[in-house]
Amino acid sequence: IAAGALQNAHLFESLELANVNLERLALVDDLTGAFNRRFFFRRLEEEFHRARRYKFPVACIFLDIDRFKPVNDRYGHLVGDRILTEVTEVLRGCIRRTDILARYGGEEFSILLPMTSQDGAAVEGERIRQAVRAHAFGADVGPVHITISLGVSGYPAARVNSVEDLIARADDALYQAKAEGRDRLVVAAD
């Protein structure tokens, strides 16, 4: 009986560990270790509803690595993946513990900034842009110059009545930053 109980305890422990790993996989991007898009949306919904209820600000930043395809083409996807991981580390070093960094897809990231106005997010976004620009990426292949474009939106703001509005405005601002030449930050206009 004791051997069976011990075996069951080990099995239970293994199942618990597997569940923890599955939960982590459901929330975190495998490559970068940043949160994934699904988790970002869930937290954005929560923070947006909290902001509306208690009249707090909330902001989000969408950012995209500029001209990343040529980096992958020149150095290969393994180096490209390492650079994505390095970018993630630079971003983590710039944000507060309360901010949520997520890999939105490909070379695009999003940052949720609770209790932060649109103007405050723009200041943080500019600091992020400069930190990425100053960092020497891909040290094993020689310094690879990386820049990012950012779009910022916040609540409360005119025409922001939902999470979808907040996302659309950040995405539009990101698109505008890229259209205006990249390596810049654009704040959603009211």
H or E segment at 89? Answer: helix 77-94
Tell me which amino acid residue 7 is: Q
φ, ψ at 186 (rounded to 5°): -125, 130
Angstrom distance (rounded) from CA 172 to CA 190: 12
What residue has token string 């891909």? 138
> Of the residues 47, 107, 108, 124, which is catalytic?
107
Strands 100-105 and 58-65, by their bridges, are unpaired
In the block, tokens 């395809």 appear at: 69
Nearest-5° angle of CA 78, CA 35, CA 47?
155
Distance CA 57, CA 176 (A): 23
16 is catalytic: no
**Which residues have a catalytic role annotated?**
107
